[in-house]
Every structure is written in C-alpha cells, then in structure tokens.
A and B are shown apart, each in its own frame.
Chain A
Amino acid sequence: MLWVDKYRPRTLDKVIVHDDIASNLKKLVSEQDCPHLLFYGPPGSGKKTLIMALLKQMFGPGAEKVKMENKAWKIDAGSRTIELELTTLSSTHHVELNPSDAGFQDRYIVQEIIKEMAKNRPIDTKGKKGFKVLVLNEVDKLSREAQHSLRRTMEKYSASCRLILCCNSSSKVTEAVRSRCLNIRVNAPTNDQIVKVLEFIGKKEGLQLPAGFAARIANHSNRSLRRAVLAFETCKVQQYPFTVDQGIPPLDWEQYVSEIASDIINEQSPKRLFLVRGKLYELLVNCIPPQIILKKLLSELLKKLDSELKHEICHWAAYYEHRMCLGQKAIFHIEAFVAKFMSIYKGFLIATFG
C-alpha cells in the first residue's frame, strides 16, 4: 500500500494538516445535527480525507465498510427512457457518487436518482442518526441544470438526508446551492504543513530525513499533499538512505509539457505549431485534462519569458482557457493559445533584436 493511503488519517483526531477544520467538524457532529456541507479546495488538499473522517465520526466504523456498486438506471424522461450507468460507493449510512460522470445527462441523475436516494429514510434506524448522507463528488462539473435541480432536493429532503458536496472550485457551484450549505474551504497545505506530514511519515517508517530534504519535496509538490507524499515515497524507493541533494523525479507529463514549451520558444512557425499540436494530442490522449495542460504550459512558458511579456501572456492564457470552457474541442483553444504566444513572442523578438 502506498504511503498516501497508509498514512491517511482515518479519524478527525488524527488529522494533521487541517486540524482546525477537523476540530470544527467534530464539534458539529457532536451536536447531533449537521447541515449540508460543501467542501471546496484545490486538489490534494485533503477534502475527501476530511469527508471520510467526518463520516466515521458520525457513524462509527460502519462508515468504513463500503462496497462498490455499478448499477444501471432507467429514467423516464417524457417520451424516451434514458439509460444511465452509475457507480456508487455505499455503506449502510451513506452513498457516495459522482454525478458528473453522466456528462450532459447529469440532470437526470440529480433529478431522479439522487431524489430517489434522498427520499428513502435509512432502513437501518438503530443507528443514532436519523439521516443518511449523500456524498457528491465533483459538483463543480455538474451542469447548471443539474445544479438547479439539486437545490430543491436539498431543501425538500433535508429531514432524512444530508448532502456533502465536494468540488475544486466553489465559483462553479451556483449561489443557490452554496447558500444552502455550510461552506468549508480546504486550503492547500502550506509547505510547512507538508513538511510536518512528511516528517511524521518518516518517523513512522523509521527513515532518516536529512535536513531540508522534506522542504525540498514540499517545494516541488506544488502544495499538494498527495504529490508530496508520493514524491517522498518515490525518493525512498529510488535511493535510501537519502542524500541532501537527491533528485526528485519529475512527473512525466510535466516533463513533456516543458519539452513542448521549449519547442515553442525555439521556433515560431505554422510548421512548429503543427508539431506542437501532435504533442498536445499525445497529452490529451493520455487523459491529462486540458485545463491543466494549459496551466502547466503557461507556467513553463513564463519561466523562460521576458518579464514585460508575462502580463500579456497570462491575459491570453486566461482568455483561451475561458474559450476552452465554452467550447467543446480543447485542442483548438490550446493551439490557439500557442499560436498567440508564438505571434507575440516573435513580434517581441523582432522588436528587440531586429
């Protein structure tokens, strides 16, 4: 088992990074009632870990006995029936699902399935709680229609059901839904916090950590605890005992993006753009989300850029990211950004060096 899973805190007491949130949650649960919750924060900050710990706090160890179900639903939507397949993870007390898996049909999941689940009181009432919990992941990816149908559900069935929503960015969740929930912002852990966690793991594993090594990993991790722990383990596997200047192996796709960035910097022409396109396709094929590609690409490009251009480039990156969200085919927009960059950069080069 990877350290990420092995040292994941299972109860709210053991939480290291967000101990303030954990203690608040504990208080919340101890008062026997709990509002709807909305966890939001960047990836790798520990939202799901908190949710799991919270569930355990609520329902005891029974919440950990989960099983996965892959169920096909048939939904009557007016004239036609829609068939959906949904994977749910459930214990006796809670159901966890990812409604945005259904793509543009997520509305039906919210309208029918979630409603169905919320309606039914938990059968097993010997537990102290009179409600069950629905955990919805990636709420920010839900379509607007789905979110609208969610808000009524939240009010109507609040007697028997609590929703815990989890998302990366609360800005993509509608006001209405947000106002019905207790919003819990889970910040990305600071480097110090990451170091603390790494040292904790090191102690548990009985490893000798050279001074500054943990800090270096934390720096590399982009403030994602998950990455930091994974990188830590990788380093351990690669070479132990640690040395101070031990290299931290880069993520492959990030490496590839930086290669693309240097391609772009080296030559600006339609031909080069074509080559870059091929590489972008490679990344997309391998399930790297286009937003992340664009972001990483921007940061790689910014590294090599003259400071007076940085502002403009950032502006255009944001512009094309916005268009990417509006459009369907991410490649068009990433490529447009690359072309825009090439054009600006080339103009800059000619202006400066003649």
Chain B
Amino acid sequence: MDIPAADELEWLESNSLLPEFEDDEEDYIVVEEDERIAGLREADRDRDAASENEIHKKRGRSEDKDDDGVDDEERGVKRREIDEGEDEDWLRYSPPPKEAAPAADETTTGSDEEKIISRFVSDIEGECVPITAPNGDRVYAKISSREVDEAQRRKIPRDKSANGLLQEPIHALINGVEQEVLNKALQESSGSPGQTKHTAIPVVTEQLWVDKYAPNSFTELLSDEQTNREVLLWLKQWDPCVFGSKIRATTDDVFSALRRHSSAHHQMLADNKFFSKQHATSSINQRHKHSNFTEREYNNLSGVSELRSKTQTLSCHPEQKVLLLCGPPGLGKTTLAHVAAKHCGYCVVEINASDERSSSTIESKILDVVQMNSVMANSKPKCLVIDEIDGALSEGKGAVEVVLKMVAAERKSSSEKEDFPLETQPGKVPLKKGKQRNTATLLRPIICICNDLYAPALRSLRQVAKVHIFVQPTTSRVVNRLKYICKKEGFKTSSVALSALAEFTECDIRSCLNTLQFLNKKKETLNFLELDSQVVGQKDMSRSAFDVWKEIFQKRKSKRRRNSMSDSSGRGDFEFLYSIISNRGEYELTMDGIHENFLRLSYHDPMMQKTVRCLDTIGVSDTLLKYIIRTQQMSFYAYQPPAVISIRNLIAQFEKPNIEWPKSLQKCRAMLLERKDAMRIWHNKISPSISRHLSVEYLVEDLISRLLHILSPPTLRPVALHLLTEREKNDLSQLVDTMVSYCITYKVSKPKTYQRIYAYGPVSDAPELSFDPTINEFVRFQDYHSDHFELSVAMKQVLVHEVEKRRILRESIGKSINPSEGSNSAVQAFPSAEKKLTVDTTKYSAAGDRSQLKVALNPGQNTANIPLNSSSKTIKSVQENGTSKRPIRTSSSFFDRFRKGSNKGSGNPGESLQKAATEERDSRPLLFKYNEGFTNAVKRPVKIRELLL
C-alpha cells in the first residue's frame, strides 16, 4: 500500500475549490472511471473507495470553506497567502518530511472562465480528453485537476480503510508532528514566517519540470500531429512482423475500449505521475496501453489497416525499416519515439551518445534487441531507439554502418522471403530464418534520432530510412502546455509572456520549461520585455547550412523585430545573424554557398556594383580564412560573420531563394586533383630525360594542344603502309617515335554519348580508340569545339601496333646494351639499333599490309571479323616472315622478352606442345588468343580446332 504523497494531499485541498458547474460532466467521468476500475480490480474495494470519495469530497469542501472565503478573482492575487495557510493545514498529515516542501510551491488555480467541453481541441486550453457519448457524438472535455483529485481521493480513503482505526497511518502522523515541531523551531529561530518558507525549501529534491511534465501518452505530445501520426503508422506497420498476427486484435478491442473508457487513461496518467514506478504493475501497463488508444488513432485505424493490407502482400514489415527523426533540439523527438513505441506495445531500448557506440558493440546490442526474445516475464518486443545518431562522427558512423548493413542484408533476402508462407508460423518464421542464415536481419523497428539531417555520417542512412523532419509546433500549442504547467506549479504568468518565451526559444519546450523553472526558483515573474536576459542558458542553436543561407538570402518580414523592441531594428538583426552564422561555424562552407547561389538571386543591380561588392567581400573573407589557417590565429574568425552580413545587406530579397549546395567548387577541386593525378602519372611514365624538362603546368599550357595536332597529322593517309611514300613513312616513323617517347598510345574506350561521324562511315559500331593518357580531355571545354583533326580508327589501330612494337624494341635495346641509358639517348647512341628497327618495320609492314589490304577489301567489316580463310593466309605470311627473321631474332634478347611477354605463348600451329593439348581438348571449345605477329587480321580469339583444319 502506498502512502499518499504530500502533493496529492495538496491537490486534494486546492482542488476542492473547483466551481460547481463542472459537476455534471465530472459525474459522468467518475462513473465511467469507476466502472473501468471495477472491471479490472477488486470490485468491492473500489466501490468502497467511490462511496468514501463522496464523503471525503464533502468534508474537504467544508474545510476549505472555513479556510478561505476568498472568491475566485481574488484568489490569484492572494494565492501566496493561501498557500501558506494551506501549508500549515495539510502539513499535519503530510507523511514524509522530505516531500513536504515542494508542495509549498504547488498550488493550482482553478480555471473558471475556460471552456470545458467543445467539439474542437483548439478551443480548450490545457489538456483535454476525447469523450464519446453513447450515441456516438464526440467531444473534447477539458481535464481539470478535479479528475486527478478524484483519483487521489479514492486512494486516500482506501488507505484509511486498509489501516483501520486511524484516519492516517501512524508513521505519517508522527512524521507530521515532527515536521510541525521542526517548522516551529525554524520559525522561531528565523523570525519572519516568509523566511521560514524559504529555509524550508532547501530540503527539496525537486524534479526537473522537464521530466515531471514529460508527456506520457500519445495525446499529450506537443509535436506536430502529422508527424506523430506518421511515426505511429510506421510503427504499426511492424505489427505483422513483430506481433505475428495479421491484424492484431486491436481494432475491435480498441473500438470498444475507446467507447467505454475514453478517459480512463487520464486517470492512469495521474497514477503514473503521482505514484512511484514500482506501483505500476504489469496489469496497469496493459491497461495503460489499451486505454491510450485515443481519438487520433481511432481516426488512423482505418488508414493503418489499409496500409497494412497493402504491405502485407509484399512483406511483413514496412518498406523502410529505419525511421529517422530529425529536427532541432527540444521539439520532443526522443519523447515521441519513446511514447510512440510504448504506445504500440514495445519495450524501448535506447542507445544514446553516452553509450559506447563502436560498431561491434552496437551490432551486438542491436542483435540482442532485434532477434532475442526477452526471458523476462513481460516479453514485450523491443524497439530500438538510437538517439543522437549524428552526434559523434566517428563513432556514430559505426552505428549507422551496422544499421545499414542490416537493412542491406534484409534487402537481399527479401525476395526469397516472399515465398515463405507467413501464416503458418506468424512472427516466428522470420526470426528463425534470420538465425539460420546468420545474417543480421532487421526484425524490430529502429528509430534513429538526429539533429542535423545533413550530417555527413548520415548520408547513406538517409537513403534507406524513412525520414521525418520535425517542424516547430505551433506556438499556441506550446503556450497552452506551458500555461498548464505553470498553473500546476503555481507560477504566475501571462500568456503574452509565455508566447513571447516560446517564440524566443523557437518553441523549444525544454528550454522554455527550464527557464520557467529557473524563474520560479528565483521567485521572479516572466517579464516578456526582458526575455533575452531572462532566458537562461540560451542554447547554441546550430542550424543547418541551408538555414543559414536562407537567412542570408531572404529578408525576414520584420517578425524578429518584435523581440528586440528596445534595440534599433538593424542592430537586432545583426546580432541575430551574427549568432546564427557564428554558431554554424564552417565559414568556408557558408561562403561557398553564398558564392554558389548569390548570382541567381534577382536583386536589382543594373551597374553590377552590388555584385562587385559582394565578390569583393567574398574575396576578403577568403583571404582572411587563408591568413587564419596559415597563422593559426583563430580569433580572427570573429570577423567572418560580418562579411556575410554585409553581403546579406546588399542582396537579401523577400522572395524565397532557391538554394543549392555548393557543389561546383568541390567538384572543380576534385576534378582538378583527378586531372593533376592523371597528369602526374603520365609525367612519371615519360622517360626522365624528357620529363625533367616538363612540369604539369607546362604540359597543359603549351604542350597538349600542340601535341594533339602533332599526333594526328591530317597528312597521314589511311592507306596500307607499303603504299606510303618514303616521306610519309618517315613522318609515320617520327610520329610513332613521338608517341613512344611521350608514352602515348591509343586504347579502346567506350563510345561517348555524343556521336561522331567518321569520314569513312561504315564502321559505326567499331570500338572507339582514344588516347591512353586521356590528353584530349584537357582541351575539351564546355561549349567549345576544338578543331583538332582526328585520325581514322584504322589508322589508330596501325599506330597502336607500331607504338607497341617500337616500345618493346626500345626497351630491349635499352636493357641489352646499356641498361642505365635513357631511351632518349638510346636512339642517338645506337644508330645500329635504329637501323635494325627500320628493317623490322619494313618487314612487318609487309605483313601488316596484307591485313590492311583486307580491310580495304571488306570495308563493311571490322578487322576482327575477317573470314577465317583470309586470316589463316595471313598467319602463313606471318609465319614466313617469322622464319625469315629467325636468325635476327635469336641473336637479340628482345625476342626472348617478347615471348615471355606474350601470355599464351606462340601461336604457331607447329608447336608440338600445343598440338598435344589440342588433341586432348579438341572437343572442348578452347579459345586461343593469337599474340604473335603484328597484324590486325589474326589478333582475335581463334579456336585451335579452326587452326588445325
């Protein structure tokens, strides 16, 4: 049995002053409540309680009449006195001395002129409860403290009846007496009664208002209804997966429950609030859960079931398995997550920034939550709430990764999962499957909470999660709630001041409550003119970068001025912007955003003067940033926001700006690095004797344009090599030489999106050959057409082979004769090698010519598609060439190298080893790549069988 707490008793006292006209309504509720309780608890005891209730009520009222004859208007003024009077009164039977004092502060004024029953929630101030009449009409009734009162009153008599003779438990009486003695002693010692009260206060262990008045049920939530609803809906979608049954037997239950006990949960609420947690048995929890079904959901039920039926055909869980709530602090994200989860019958497991968040611990924790069934008696399924997921970047990432992994694992298996009949073993099936596969799949809802949706760590999560962005609740809602709390706490305020407070803190109810409590402690009243100074510990609101840019680009409609009435409006704006910008930090990003977007604003600037000034300011900020970084003088950061503000003053418009993330600068930087890297790689490939004279700048500035011209001479005829004149051959040789020494070749690339028309037309689907270090990229500017001539594909192919050949030759010469000599000097130093080279080229060109001729013969075909017989012919010719050159080959190391380099060995059909192999695997489709011989015709995969024919 509990001991009634002091505050309850106080409630009892103060609330008995309630006006009479609420009684009708009250009775109705009381009857309902009693019925409800009768159903669930021992009936007789409750009956007793109810009957004694009445008696007690009367008694209380008569007492109160003795206490004060003050009428309602005056009561507010004289409340303090009454408090004190009451203080003395109830202290007699207040049990634990510890809790005695807080009550001193808590008084409640009955709200008399307020509306009590209405069809609309908005008409009612403070808390309300939906009520369904037997004929189906629904109204909202204001919850007056009277109801709470009822509950307490019922308790107290029950205590009495349980204890028997004494009206109060003996120890309570003793405590009371002791307290009284103590008080008296204190009073004597300190003299004035006013001070007594103050000295009594320090004994208090007062709860934070924020915790004390945290919403316990869904209806109490202050956040945006739409969001609330959607969160709940999302949680509900998990029902088939978590609770098994297709449609949890909620609907009927709930409907009936709603009809019968529409207000019951408020009683429970009172219970929760005033009694310790241990008191709440599981049965109460159960009841709580059911009774929480209120109007809002009642409306939603149809939607839920609809959606459920939709999703059920696909899979047993919602499509997005992670919910991401984001929004500025103090709007009640965490509260919503907890309340909603509790509401749907989950046991909430929270991981927040204070816990360890490395990926391994998170993973095990999530697995625990998601896949284990609790051994405990109340085996409610768990719901994971990961709070402040954006908090610590490196560690938070671990959590994000784990969640992502699970979602991804689920994705993969989802297709298979569909086949499983869900009805056979509802709920258990997916669970077991998850264990079998040993992949961590997600079977329980996960709610992630963050402040900054655009935190880099969340980038990937954003794509898979269902994102809800919290918006500020309407001021009136917040003010109503604040008013209610103030009333409960006996704190004198005006709604004007409260709304000003709410606005000032941007509807951050946590901050509001803290401020109020602080003021209450200080015995100050909320003065809305001095709000700035009164709001204690104004938090550093770090807004998203987009918000900052929006503030910069968009003029406010003088809404803010109201807050800073004493200032000149300009100064207020300045301070406001300054705080926003400096709280955001990241000045560089801010500036980038401004730079990216400001030209798109439609500010009036016929002479471009504003633009010039803006860019100048941006430039100043840029130089300042560099200076700060160079010299590490961080204090100069203070001069960044003014630069931004001066830009704002120049260009801010009333219309809504279309802001884009500053991508182009970053893109530019990334691409620049990429290009530079490509350059450097190329630079390193070029032999040092040449590259020592080059630098990246020089390459781009002077060389590339010219090189492109030089590498694709329009004078080079796309004909067979042997048809070239001596001079042309010379040119070609020089070209190849250049390409080799600059390490440029052609390679097959994917055809670009834009179509190029080749002069020789028919080969349209041929693979496009482009420069290997993609040097032509460097002159490909946007909206610019260079007049570089491009060689035909056939010519390029010839060049590729020539270059390859020359390269190998050079390497071998360099290796065999003078390894340390650079290839550049090799050409000059070894004329003999050069001569040999020309010999080779002429001989090879004979072979190449044939293939070239064939290309000419079959212009419609790619070189790769040359008929077999012709290719075999060329093979023979190559063979002949090869045999004729045999002596030269064996003499130099080059050819050994060459053989080694060819990965499949020589393709000569005469090789005995291959013959054996082919005999064995004749039946199998063995592809053989022909590598030797410098001809286009043969260089394609050929089956050995075909070669043997």
A281, CB-defined interface residue at 8 Å: yes
A22, CB-defined interface residue at 8 Å: no
Taking CB atoms, residues of chain A closer than 8 Å to B599 are 270-271, 273-274, 277
The reply to whether B675 and A287 contact each other, CB–CB distance below 8 Å, is yes
Interface positions of A from 38 to 65, Cβ below 8 Å from B: 43-44, 48-49, 52, 64-65
B625, CB-defined interface residue at 8 Å: yes
How many Å lie between the Cα of A70 and that of B605 in the bound state?
53
The reply to whether B688 and A68 contact each other, CB–CB distance below 8 Å, is yes
The reply to whether A48 and B692 contact each other, CB–CB distance below 8 Å, is yes
The reply to whether A328 and B625 contact each other, CB–CB distance below 8 Å, is yes
A336, CB-defined interface residue at 8 Å: yes
B893 CB to nearest A CB, Å:
21
The reply to whether B619 and A270 contact each other, CB–CB distance below 8 Å, is no
A326, CB-defined interface residue at 8 Å: yes
How many Å lie between the Cα of A68 and that of B685 in the bound state?
10
Type the 1/0 row for A261-298, where 1 means its CB is closer than 8 Å to any CB of B.
00000001111011001110111111111001000000
Place the interface of chain B in its size category: 35 or more
How many Å lie between the Cα of A10 and that of B741 in the bound state?
18
A92 CB to nearest B CB, Å:
10
Q: Which residue of A lies closest to B735 (CB)?
A: A237
Type the 1/0 row for A333-352, where 1 means its CB is closer than 8 Å to any CB of B.
10110011011001100100
A323, CB-defined interface residue at 8 Å: yes
Taking CB atoms, residues of chain A closer than 8 Å to B709 are 234, 237-238, 249
Taking CB atoms, residues of chain B closer than 8 Å to A289 are 697, 701
B822, CB-defined interface residue at 8 Å: yes
B783, CB-defined interface residue at 8 Å: yes
How many Å lie between the Cα of A68 and that of B626 in the bound state?
34
Taking CB atoms, residues of chain B closer than 8 Å to A157 are none
Q: A256 touches which one: B698, B703, B706, B784 (CB < 8 A)?
A: B784
The reply to whether B700 and A286 contact each other, CB–CB distance below 8 Å, is yes
The reply to whether A252 and B781 contact each other, CB–CB distance below 8 Å, is yes
Q: Which residue of B lies closest to A230 (CB)?
A: B706
The reply to whether B786 and A252 contact each other, CB–CB distance below 8 Å, is yes
Q: Which residue of A lies closest to B615 (CB)?
A: A336
Given contacts A226-B698, A333-B619, contact A346 B608 (CB under 8 A): yes
The reply to whether A328 and B705 contact each other, CB–CB distance below 8 Å, is no
A5, CB-defined interface residue at 8 Å: yes
How many Å lie between the Cα of A184 and that of B684 in the bound state?
29
Taking CB atoms, residues of chain B closer than 8 Å to A234 are 706, 709-710
The reply to whether B741 and A253 contact each other, CB–CB distance below 8 Å, is no
Q: Which residue of A lies closest to B786 (CB)?
A: A252
A67, CB-defined interface residue at 8 Å: yes
The reply to whether A287 and B679 contact each other, CB–CB distance below 8 Å, is yes
B695, CB-defined interface residue at 8 Å: yes
How many Å lie between the Cα of A96 and that of B693 in the bound state?
11
Interface positions of B from 608 to 638, Cβ below 8 Å from A: 608-609, 611-612, 615-616, 618-619, 622-623, 625-627
Q: B693 touches which one: A48, A273, A329, A339 (CB < 8 A)?
A: A48
- Of A8, A336, A347, most B-chain CB atoms within 10 Å: A336
B738, CB-defined interface residue at 8 Å: yes
Total contacting residues, chain A, CB less than 8 A: 77
The reply to whether A64 and B626 contact each other, CB–CB distance below 8 Å, is no
B426, CB-defined interface residue at 8 Å: no
B749, CB-defined interface residue at 8 Å: no
Taking CB atoms, residues of chain B closer than 8 Å to A200 are none
A112, CB-defined interface residue at 8 Å: no
Taking CB atoms, residues of chain A closer than 8 Å to B274 are none
Q: B824 touches which one: A1, A269, A320 (CB < 8 A)?
A: A1
Summarize B's interface: helix, strand, loop or mixed: helix
The reply to whether B737 and A1 contact each other, CB–CB distance below 8 Å, is yes
Q: Which residue of B lies closest to A337 (CB)?
A: B615
B689, CB-defined interface residue at 8 Å: yes
How many Å lie between the Cα of A279 and that of B706 in the bound state?
22
- Of A270, A335, A347, most B-chain CB atoms within 10 Å: A270
B924, CB-defined interface residue at 8 Å: no
How many Å lie between the Cα of A281 and that of B782 in the bound state?
10
B676, CB-defined interface residue at 8 Å: yes
A169, CB-defined interface residue at 8 Å: no
- Of A231, A281, A283, most B-chain CB atoms within 10 Å: A281
Taking CB atoms, residues of chain B closer than 8 Å to A70 are 684
B715, CB-defined interface residue at 8 Å: yes
The reply to whether B705 and A240 contact each other, CB–CB distance below 8 Å, is no
Type the 1/0 row for A91-125, where 1 means its CB is closer than 8 Å to any CB of B.
00000101000000000000000000000000000
Q: A287 touches which one: B693, B696, B713 (CB < 8 A)?
A: B696
Taking CB atoms, residues of chain A closer than 8 Å to B714 are 237-238
Type the 1/0 row for B757-798, where 1 means its CB is closer than 8 Å to any CB of A.
000000000000000000001110111101100000000000
The reply to whether A323 and B619 contact each other, CB–CB distance below 8 Å, is yes
The reply to whether A327 and B623 contact each other, CB–CB distance below 8 Å, is yes
A89 CB to nearest B CB, Å:
5
Type the 1/0 row for B810-830, where 1 means its CB is closer than 8 Å to any CB of A.
000000000011101101000
B671, CB-defined interface residue at 8 Å: yes
Type the 1/0 row for B652-685, where 1 means its CB is closer than 8 Å to any CB of A.
0000000000001100100110011001000010
Q: B779 touches which one: A226, A252, A259, A273 (CB < 8 A)?
A: A252
The reply to whether B618 and A287 contact each other, CB–CB distance below 8 Å, is no
The reply to whether A2 and B607 contact each other, CB–CB distance below 8 Å, is no
B289 CB to nearest A CB, Å:
57
Type the 1/0 row for B76-119, where 1 means its CB is closer than 8 Å to any CB of A.
00000000000000000000000000000000000000000000
The reply to whether A332 and B710 contact each other, CB–CB distance below 8 Å, is no
B777 CB to nearest A CB, Å:
8
Q: A230 touches which one: B607, B690, B702, B782 (CB < 8 A)?
A: B702
The reply to whether B700 and A287 contact each other, CB–CB distance below 8 Å, is yes
How many Å lie between the Cα of A327 and that of B777 in the bound state?
28
Q: Which residue of B lies closest to A342 (CB)?
A: B608
A179, CB-defined interface residue at 8 Å: no
A239, CB-defined interface residue at 8 Å: yes
The reply to whether A273 and B611 contact each other, CB–CB distance below 8 Å, is yes
A11, CB-defined interface residue at 8 Å: no
B595, CB-defined interface residue at 8 Å: yes
The reply to whether B692 and A89 contact each other, CB–CB distance below 8 Å, is yes
B861, CB-defined interface residue at 8 Å: no
Interface positions of B from 705 to 735, Cβ below 8 Å from A: 705-710, 713-715, 731, 734
A72, CB-defined interface residue at 8 Å: no
In the complex, 13 of the A-B residue pairs with CB atoms within 8 angstroms, ordered by the A residue number, are A2-B742, A52-B692, A66-B688, A67-B820, A230-B706, A238-B709, A238-B714, A283-B781, A288-B700, A323-B623, A326-B623, A327-B619, A335-B595
Known: A285-B671, A286-B700. 16 other contacts (CB 8 A): A1-B741, A48-B692, A64-B689, A65-B820, A65-B821, A65-B822, A238-B709, A253-B700, A253-B701, A273-B611, A287-B778, A288-B700, A288-B701, A292-B701, A326-B626, A332-B615
**Interface of A with B (CB < 8 Å)?**
1-2, 5, 8, 43-44, 48-49, 52, 64-68, 70, 87, 89, 96, 98, 137-138, 224, 226-227, 230-231, 233-234, 237-240, 249-253, 255-256, 259, 268-271, 273-274, 277-279, 281-289, 292, 320, 323, 326-329, 331-333, 335-336, 339-340, 342-343, 346-347, 350
Instruction: Identify the 9 closest CB pairs spanning chains A and B, nearest first.
Output: A336-B615, A252-B779, A343-B608, A327-B622, A230-B706, A326-B623, A327-B623, A237-B713, A234-B709
